[in-house]
Amino acid sequence: MTEQTTRRGRPGYDLESLLAIAVQLFNERGYDGTSMEELSRKLGITKSAIYHHVPSKQELLRLAVDRALDGLFAVTEEPRSLEGRAIDRLEHVVRRSVAVLVERLPFVTLLLRVRGNTKVERAALARRREFDQLVTDLVKQAAADGDLRSDIDPAVTSRLLFGMINSVIEWYRPRGGITPDALADAVSTLAFAGLRVD
């Protein structure tokens, strides 16, 4: 897909392919730091042609963050997230969240960088807070069961734990030398067993 000027012809974008490139650019330059002109250059079509596919820049953002959030919420609805001892459910949610993060990397990346300047962004943040709450509840339950150390507040635990998971967006690359499974293992091991050997 070469960037060209003053061209005629149809690259043949659909919403999906256009969205993918938009999200990539939003992640590179920031949503607010990316103009539609810039996106059009990347796409090799004019700015106005973008509006054939989507009604607004915000709609691109909304589509992307919803995709990320849908993936994360789906994790919390899996049977192994719902049944069994809380610590096991928590481990499952951790592993599966890493998997979703990896699988929907561009979308989750964009989601995690949302600020809250517009309605779309604030809606995404609200939905994110819901997810965070589900996870925190699970951590609290595992702590109440006596399966998590009690010297760290469960709310802090939850935040640090998911902070670590979310930080993966900053460096994980699909061909970067670690498989999604190995990554999920590393996260889970670090979190539950710690780094030190005694």
Partner DNA sequence: GCTGGCTGACCGACTGTTCGGTTAAGAATG
Partner DNA sequence: CATTCTTAACCGAACAGTCGGTCAGCCAGC
Cβ of 76: how many Cβ atoms within 10 Å? 18
Binding of its own copies by 144 (CB under 8 A): no
Q: Which of 2, 79, 171, 173 binds its own copies (CB under 8 A)?
A: 171
- In the block, residue with structure tokens 């965070």: 132
Binding of its own copies by 123 (CB under 8 A): no
Q: Name the one range near its own copies by CB under 8 A: 44-52, 57-65, 72-80, 149-157.
A: 149-157
Nearer Cβ to DNA (11/180): 11
Q: Contact, 75 vs 81, CB < 8 A? A: yes
Binding of its own copies by 156 (CB under 8 A): yes
Q: Which does 29 bind (CB under 5 to 8 A by kind): DNA, its own copies, none?
A: its own copies
Quote the tokens at residue 57.
């820049």
Q: Which does 81 bind (CB under 5 to 8 A by kind): its own copies, DNA, none?
A: none
Count Cα neighbours of 87 within 13 Å in the Cβ-side half-sphere: 11
Residue 73 burial (C-beta neighbours within 10 Å; 0-12, 13-18, 19+): middle
Total residues contacting its own copies (rule CB under 8 A)? 46
CA separation for the pair 13, 61 (Å, rounded): 17
Residues with Cβ within 8 Å of 96's Cβ and at least 6 positions away in sequence, in order, are 75, 78, 81
Q: Which does 37 bind (CB under 5 to 8 A by kind): its own copies, DNA, none?
A: DNA
- In the block, residue with structure tokens 């810039």: 38
Residue 131's closest CA among 117, 104, 112, 113? 112
Q: Which of 33, 51, 82, 84 binds its own copies (CB under 8 A)?
A: 33
Binding of its own copies by 56 (CB under 8 A): no
Binding of its own copies by 1 (CB under 8 A): no
Q: Contact, 111 vs 68, CB < 8 A? A: yes
Q: Which does 58 bind (CB under 5 to 8 A by kind): DNA, its own copies, none?
A: DNA
Q: Which parts of this chain interact with its own copies (CB under 8 A)? A: 28-33, 87, 113, 115-117, 146-153, 156-157, 159-164, 166-168, 170-171, 178, 183, 185-187, 189-197
